[in-house]
Amino acid sequence: MLTILGSSAALPLYKRHNASQVLQAGKRMIMIDCGDGTQHQCTRYGVSLHKLDMLLISHLHGDHFFGIFALLNNMQMVGRTQKFYIFAPPDLADLLRLQFKVTDSVFRFEIVFKGLPTDSIDVFFEDDSITIATLPLNHRIKPCNGFLVREKVKPTKIKPHSLPPDLAGAVYISLKNGQDVYDEAGKLLYRAEDYTFVPPSMLYAYCSDTAYTPSLVPLLAGVDMLYHEATFMQEDLTRAIETYHSTTEQAGQIALDAGVGKLLIGHISAKYPDYEPLLQETRKIFPNTEFAVEGERFVW
Ligand SMILES: [Zn+2]
Ligand SMILES: [Zn+2]
């Protein structure tokens, strides 16, 4: 599940906050980018500052990370104790160190910082439920990384209402482990595949900010949902090229060429009061597109 906290580029206007979203994948709650005011958005949309496992920062333009100082401070104030991971461009560590020093901040929870590489595809986090890899983006500031979050194969589950309520516990456990159940004479009583299913695993990609980069296409194969920036309408292509951003049609083209399941656009310029024209223009290229409206949750 993906919760959008902000989807504005540069200036936060028209009730659109800067970039931030929270992805629940496997056992992890992952915040991606943290624009100014993200801590308010967490409160507004029910994101627990205790439960976030990590923060991924794509690049060091302010609209993607100015909220980190307040976020960490608020985590301290609500009494967080759980370890918190930050994966970000290496220079952010210098800023955080200085900020902690001048504000005399001492945290009761451990902060683990890891600098992310430039221009490479790197699996930088893995546990038994997910992997996260960088996607090299083409933006004015370097490094600028997208992220590919892949859920591993999930444990088998029992189909709801498929078994009699008085079933012996041992039988239930066998079926849940994928084992067929026989009676003493060797007759098949329950075939595991009739009563169980493997929940789907999702593959999510985040690509913001970036100029049109067709080399991303093979890296996005099999993606269920792609968040791709669409900062400008197609008529503003020149401005998009100058600023290393993408247009609506370019975002749609990447989604189409990669064959993703669904496209989510965001990071639109503050010059557009309404996102609807950008959405309609993108849908002409890739019909299964939605706009990343703040507060909306996307499940796939
Ligand atoms: Zn940006
Ligand atoms: Zn940027």
The CATH number of the domain where 23 resides is what? 3.60.15.10
The answer to whether residues 125 and 182 belong to one domain is no
The answer to whether residues 185 and 147 belong to one domain is no
Amino acid at position 7, single letter: S
Q: How far is the CA of 141 from the centre of ligand 1 (A)?
A: 10
Q: How far is the CA of 165 from the centre of ligand 1 (A)?
A: 53
The answer to whether residues 78 and 187 belong to one domain is no
Q: What is the chain's alpha carbon radius of gyration, rounded to the nearest angstrom?
A: 22
Determine the average pLDDT of the residues in 254-264.
Answer: 98
The answer to whether residues 120 and 165 belong to one domain is no
pLDDT value, residue 117: 81
- State the total domains in the chain: 2
The answer to whether residues 40 and 167 belong to one domain is no
The answer to whether residues 90 and 20 belong to one domain is yes
pLDDT value, residue 65: 97
Task: Indicate the residue among 195, 224, 253 that finishes a domain.
Answer: 195
The answer to whether residues 179 and 129 belong to one domain is no
* pLDDT band for position 16 (cuts 50, 70, 90): confident
The answer to whether residues 170 and 40 belong to one domain is no
Ligand with the closest atom to the CA of 6? 1
Could you tell me which residues come within 8 angstroms of residue 116 by beta carbon, excluding any fewer than 6 positions away?
87, 88, 89, 90, 122, 124, 134, 143, 145
Q: Which residues are tagged catalytic?
A: 63
Ligand with the closest atom to the CA of 267? 1
Whole domain around residue 37: which residue ranges?
2-154+199-298
Q: How far is the CA of 150 from the centre of ligand 2 (A)?
A: 24
Q: What percent of the chain has pLDDT over 90?
A: 82
pLDDT value, residue 176: 86
Spatial distance between the Cα atoms of 283 and 222, rounded to a whole number of angstroms: 20
The answer to whether residues 53 and 76 belong to one domain is yes
The answer to whether residues 261 and 228 belong to one domain is yes
pLDDT value, residue 23: 98
Q: How far is the CA of 245 from the centre of ligand 1 (A)?
A: 9
The answer to whether residues 276 and 162 belong to one domain is no
Exposure of 223 by Cβ count < 10 A (0-12 exposed, 13-18 middle, 19+ buried)?
A: buried
Q: How far is the CA of 211 from the centre of ligand 2 (A)?
A: 10
Ligand with the closest atom to the CA of 64? 1
Ligand with the closest atom to the CA of 138? 2
Residues with beta carbon < 5 A to ion ligand 1? Answer: 61, 63, 209
The answer to whether residues 206 and 258 belong to one domain is yes
Q: Is the pLDDT of residue 112 over 90?
A: yes
Spatial distance between the Cα atoms of 24 and 14, rounded to a whole number of angstroms: 27
Q: How far is the CA of 226 from the centre of ligand 1 (A)?
A: 17
Spatial distance between the Cα atoms of 196 and 157, rounded to a whole number of angstroms: 5
